[in-house]
Structure 1
Amino acid sequence: MAGYLEAASTPFEQQQTVNEEGMQINAIPRITVHAFCLSDATMRVAEAAMEDRRMAKAHLKLDSGGIPAAISTFEQAPTPNLIIVETIGQREELLTNLDHLAEFCDAGTKVIVIGDVNDVTLYRELIARGVSEYLIAPVSVFQLIGSVGNLYADPEAEPLGRTIAFFGVKGGCGSSTVAHNGAWSLARSFQTEVVVTDLDLPFGTAGLDYNQDPLQGVFEAVSSPERLDETYLDRILSKCSDHLSLLAAPATLERTYDQNEKAFEPLLETMRSSVPLVVLDVPHVWNAWVKDTLLSVDEIVLVAEPDLANLRNAKNTVDMLKQLRPNDRPPHLIMNKVNVPKRPEIKPDEFASALGLQVQASIPFEPQLFGTAANNGQMIGEMDNKHAIARMFEDLAQSVSGKAQPSRPSRSSLGGLLSKLKRKAG
């Protein structure tokens, strides 16, 4: 009994303060965070933050070396959703190092700086340059997590997620296969969270392609919009790999699926607020909700085969998109099943020229390769990541991601830190 009466290692008043501080912190969405620490104390705080329940959905990677290590890393790699850097030194050195880091940052990246200089003028200058937050060392676990949570809980902030719709202009052209392989390449190339959403409710193949058989998915999400939030979304997602999740279609004919025009809007808004990259596998049908979905996404990938019927449908689709999305980028064009033996075909460049587009990729007709992958529940990159078609999907992922090429030595010459980020935040 004596052991039960011993004083707690942490006084009740201190526990109460910690609990109240933690209760005010928002859960962190599915983002990728890369932290570069200098001191052992900050490294320990970051390690403790990794284990906190509020960071369960985020992917946090820790390295030492501060800003120089961050520069070395992102010279040859895409930047994550959030970079945390620790710096020790005076104002001029900090600004110089941050300006150098800015040359390698993508437009969607946020930055938190942890420094030992307690100066209001420095804080204001960093915020004016586009830094998301400046924390004075030493920082606590709750202070670090809270700062990250506040960045993504701001109601005036732009949505976290980028939505990419794959649409086949004719049935059977392989749009779903392209979408699933493209999503897999996105997750693998950028090590960021990707959710594939199969919108072909009666006949969707994403579950088969990823070798998944979830009990819940898209239908449950759109059938109960009043329950739909990040927590419910997390419950119905099926994990395919470290960074890839699936929101599967029921793929049954036990019911009909007559969705109204705005049926998928709450689902898309919820995913945008919590997932960095959302890939939509849109079925080849034409109704109000398909049109509404195509008009609302950030990027559209059109998949077509090189024949006359595909060209007619693609022309109608492109004309409609130009009219209703005049200020958006034109769709990406993927020519699929090219060079089918003995089939008369339109040359991909001629096909694209008639649409006023450029060919993003011409995927050859490889029934053995794609058939084996489908039967095994694998992606092309899983079977052979050095195959030419696997590289095509990597290039497609790079193009639709909105991120700059990681191999570039310099993105641009910036006078201040992350002026691109200011443009996004403003």
Structure 2
Amino acid sequence: MGGDRAIAREVPDAQRGGAVISADRPSLMAFVADEASEAAIRGGIGDVLGAQLRRGTVRTAVKALEKETTPRVLIVDISGIEDPFGALDDLASVCTPDVRVLVVGERTEIGFYRDITRNVGVHEYLHKPLTRDNVTRLFAPHIQGGGEGGQDRGGQVTVVCGVHGGVGSTTIAVNLALQLEDATRGHVALLDLHLRGGTAAMMLGARVTSGLRVALEEPERVDSLFLDRVAVPLGERVRLIAAEEPMETDVQATEEGARRVIEMLRQRFNHVVIDLPLPPGPVERLVLQRARHVVLVLGPDVASIRDTVSVKKLVSMTGSAGRVITVLNGAGRKGYLPIKLIAEGIGAPPDVVIPDLPRQLPRAANLGRPALRDSPVLRRAMGVLSLEIAAVRSEERGPSFFARLFRRGG
């Protein structure tokens, strides 16, 4: 299909930077500390197109992948690392969730092997000295695309929706995505599902194509290069996926299209923030069902009290297991309800309170610049919200952040 509906429209080369969606994603990247291990890996894996072998440890990998593209398969060396589990946690924060991680080290205890492959969640561990044969037998299947297929690994989905129009839900979604990048150092996708009249791109001064609409209407056209074509870089690790369809357009989004887009994003990003329109149709209900968190944005008014109670019930009825987080936007606005009455009306104090910012937010929207960058007050409030979301990954020390991020099936 041609014309402006063609999903194959390319993003200009200048917009392709960043570590998440490069079409030149390395198939393999290895960081090993000694020449003998490097030689064993080279001999054991054979010729792998695009493979990169470098000298260093897991700490070297963390520094490199803060700026570079996450490979499909990553080998890291934990030799000499005092806290290997902490180092692997740091590694997880700079990698996309679909990476397959293989580890080499000096420890030989069977308990350590079980801990690192089961509780920590890396795919395989080999102790030194490495041999060409054991690399071929245990690492090569992962590098060649075999091993454990169909695992449910993926990033965390957070849905943001306004309980009614005009409460600032898109402002919250945009700034939350940027705050999550700053707070977690992870890769973040911002998906705006307001295909007609959406304002996320406008708030960010970004130009988008019609690729998202095509993907939602014709899921069979969503291929491995979908993100390269439609995602707009907002920073080193943040991408916007949005559309600006004319109001007269009859958008026919499908549940399968939404499912495929979300799962693709989950495989490439640590956090997926979705600006979701209400009331929900079948597509929106499916999105709610996949959310880890549902952020309900309300204003300091009577209609918001009524609609917050109603939307909470609706989220529950969809079967969503996501935690509902209430965000009161515009607290203290002259002539509106105080927080105490809002809390009484919705049955609990709002989880996050954002004070009225009558000058900063409109100015930022008109300039196409995120308000988070210029408003310390908003930045503090968004920090509270990002903590509510990201803290789920560090509830307890049990399975590490690495294991939860690169979740293995079961």
- With the length of structure 1 as denominator, give the TM-score of the two structures: 0.69
| Cα separation, 2, equivalents of 1:238 and 1:422 | 24
For the pair 1:333 / 2:322, whether they are aligned, the reply is no
| Cα separation, 2, equivalents of 1:299 and 1:35 | 35
Give, as a single letter, the amino acid of the residue that structure 1 aligns with 2:339: P
The residue number in structure 1 matching 2:371 is: 380
| Cα separation, 1, equivalents of 2:256 and 2:226 | 19
| Cα separation, 2, equivalents of 1:180 and 1:377 | 11
Which structure has the bigger radius of gyration? 1
The residue number in structure 1 matching 2:240 is: 246
| Cα separation, 1, equivalents of 2:339 and 2:35 | 57
- Give the drift of 1:180: 0.5
- Residue by residue, what CA displacement relative to the aligned partner does 1:309-351 show, whole Å, maximum 9, x if unpaired? 111111011122234447x34311110112222x131x33542
- Give the drift of 1:154: 4.2
Range 164-173 or range 105-114, more displaced: 105-114
| Cα separation, 2, equivalents of 1:104 and 1:213 | 33
| Cα separation, 2, equivalents of 1:321 and 1:171 | 17
- Give the drift of 1:356: 4.1
Give, as a single letter, the amino acid of the residue that structure 1 aligns with 2:386: A
Range 207-216 or range 197-206, more displaced: 207-216
| Cα separation, 1, equivalents of 2:30 and 2:339 | 44
Residues 195 and 245, structure 1, Cα contact 8 Å, conserved in 2: yes
- Give the drift of 1:177: 0.7
Residues 193 and 276, structure 2, Cα contact 8 Å, conserved in 1: yes
- Give the drift of 1:182: 0.5
| Cα separation, 2, equivalents of 1:268 and 1:129 | 27
| Cα separation, 1, equivalents of 2:352 and 2:87 | 32
The CA RMSD over aligned residues, in Å, is 4.7
| Cα separation, 2, equivalents of 1:204 and 1:419 | 35
For the pair 1:398 / 2:387, whether they are aligned, the reply is yes
Residues 208 and 243, structure 2, Cα contact 8 Å, conserved in 1: no
| Cα separation, 2, equivalents of 1:422 and 1:361 | 25
| Cα separation, 2, equivalents of 1:321 and 1:232 | 29
SS at the partner of 2:157? strand
CA separation of 1:344/1:383 partners in 2, compared to 1, >3 Å: closer, same or farther?
Answer: closer
Q: In the comparison of the two structures, how many residue pairs are matched?
A: 363
Matches within 5 A, 1:81-100: 85-88=76-79, 97-98=83-84
Matches within 5 A, 1:7-406: 38-39=33-34, 85-88=76-79, 97-98=83-84, 112-116=102-106, 123-124=113-114, 126-132=116-122, 133-136=124-127, 147=142, 154-260=148-254, 262-325=256-319, 328-341=321-334, 343-345=335-337, 347-384=338-375, 387-401=376-390, 403-404=392-393
Range 120-129 or range 165-174, more displaced: 120-129
| Cα separation, 1, equivalents of 2:25 and 2:388 | 22
CA separation of 1:352/1:236 partners in 2, compared to 1, >3 Å: closer, same or farther?
Answer: same
Residues 160 and 296, structure 2, Cα contact 8 Å, conserved in 1: yes
- Give the drift of 1:111: 6.2
- Give the drift of 1:372: 1.6
Residues 161 and 275, structure 2, Cα contact 8 Å, conserved in 1: yes
SS at the partner of 2:323? coil
Give, as a single letter, the amino acid of the residue that structure 2 aligns with 1:364: P
| Cα separation, 1, equivalents of 2:329 and 2:30 | 40
CA separation of 1:330/1:63 partners in 2, compared to 1, >3 Å: closer, same or farther?
Answer: farther
- Give the drift of 1:272: 2.3
Residues 166 and 282, structure 1, Cα contact 8 Å, conserved in 2: yes
SS at the partner of 1:155? coil
Residues 38 and 66, structure 1, Cα contact 8 Å, conserved in 2: no
- Give the drift of 1:267: 1.8
CA separation of 1:117/1:313 partners in 2, compared to 1, >3 Å: closer, same or farther?
Answer: closer
Residues 129 and 418, structure 1, Cα contact 8 Å, conserved in 2: no
| Cα separation, 1, equivalents of 2:405 and 2:243 | 38
| Cα separation, 1, equivalents of 2:351 and 2:144 | 37
- Give the drift of 1:278: 1.2
Residues 168 and 284, structure 1, Cα contact 8 Å, conserved in 2: yes
Range 292-301 or range 235-244, more displaced: 292-301
- Give the drift of 1:146: 7.5
Residues 57 and 79, structure 2, Cα contact 8 Å, conserved in 1: no
CA separation of 1:392/1:121 partners in 2, compared to 1, >3 Å: closer, same or farther?
Answer: closer
- Give the drift of 1:87: 3.5
CA separation of 1:145/1:248 partners in 2, compared to 1, >3 Å: closer, same or farther?
Answer: farther
- Residue by residue, what CA displacement relative to the aligned partner does 1:187-229 show, whole Å, maximum 9, x if unpaired? 2222222111111111001111111112334212113211112
Give, as a single letter, the amino acid of the residue that structure 2 aligns with 1:225: P
SS at the partner of 2:151? coil
| Cα separation, 2, equivalents of 1:30 and 1:189 | 25
CA separation of 1:215/1:264 partners in 2, compared to 1, >3 Å: closer, same or farther?
Answer: same
* Structure 2 residues without counterparts, runs of 5 or longer: 1-21, 42-47, 63-71
Range 224-233 or range 192-201, more displaced: 224-233
